[in-house]
Amino acid sequence: MSFRKSSLTFDFFNTLIEPVDKNVSKRALKAVYDVGVKYGLTIGFDEFISEALSQWQKVLRKRIEEGTETLYNSHLLEVFKDVGMQSSKARAVIKESTSAYFKILTANVQLVEDTYEVIEILSETFRIGLISNFTYPPFIHSQLETHNLSDFFETVTISGDHGFSKPFPRIFAHTVRSMNMKPHNVIHIGDSLACDVIGAKKAGLKAIWFKRNDDDEQQNEGEYRPDLTIHQLSELLEAKLDSLVNYHPTSRLAS
């Protein structure tokens, strides 16, 4: 088997990069809230967070139920509309608060342990791609550049660029086609059982679950179980990844 005929695709957030602590999102939302106050927002921060989380749950439901993505600006606009922000101020508020949010996020994320070394070594043997659910693609592109990862990735598929998302097969199919691969020649690695493992398996890919915490989702016991479960990225270097990639001439790419 020629390993270079096989590919690995990675999830991004909480697989290759992570927040430095559990309060990063709250600090970033505080920056958004402060911009809102500047433009006349009168509700308290706790109420604002509650509304932001409520809207975020809607985004997540759309991903799971419809396979579609909501852009960050659209999501934020709904938050401000629901808390009574005047529509005449919306454009300025969205632009400034988006900048404030991702300024905080950029300053408070780091590579997951061993990410660079693992990607560098695996790229010598496998073709590498990225498949991410993310509402604001510029952040991912800038992070790949910042951490000198861009050159390792043959293709980068972000839900915010395409409008479709994991776990639906379409985003995996798009990536596989863009790499001119077959799904059974691709192994996807990610931290979400629902989006990364079940999504990849439904699309005909192999799947490795990066189970980072004991309180993560429970392993699915049905048809779409992960082919391998790891707890550190470095375990990929010891795994017999070639044994996971099987060639089935009759396999079809999910649409």
Q: What are phi and psi of 44, to 5 degrees?
A: -75, 165
Residue 7's nearest CA partner among 165, 229, 189, 231 is 189
Residue 164 DSSP label: B
Peptide bond into 167 cis (omega under 30): yes
> Rounded distance, CA 224 to CA 206, Å?
10
Amino acid at 18: E
Contact assessment for residue 43 and residue 90, using Cβ atoms and an 8 Å cutoff: no
> Rounded distance, CA 96 to CA 86, Å?
15
Domain ranges for the chain: 3-18+110-244, 24-107
> What number of other Cβ atoms are within 10 A of residue 15's Cβ?
20
Matching residue, tokens 């016991």: 221
Say what the pLDDT of residue 216 is. 57
CATH architecture of 3-18+110-244: 3-Layer(aba) Sandwich (3.40)
Render each residue's pLDDT in the chain as its tens digit; 255 residues. Answer: 344 678 999 999 999 999 999 999 999 999 999 999 999 999 999 999 999 999 999 999 999 999 999 999 999 998 998 888 877 788 889 999 999 999 999 999 999 999 999 999 999 999 999 999 999 999 999 999 999 999 999 999 999 999 999 999 999 999 999 999 999 999 999 999 999 999 999 999 999 999 988 765 665 546 789 999 999 999 999 998 888 875 444 334 443
Say what the pLDDT of residue 58 is. 92
Q: What distance lies between CA 214 and its chain's CA centroid?
A: 20
Say what the pLDDT of residue 249 is. 41
Task: Work out whether strand 155-158 and strand 109-111 pair parallel, antiparallel, or are unpaired.
Answer: unpaired
Q: Which two tokens stand for residue 181?
A: 């691969």
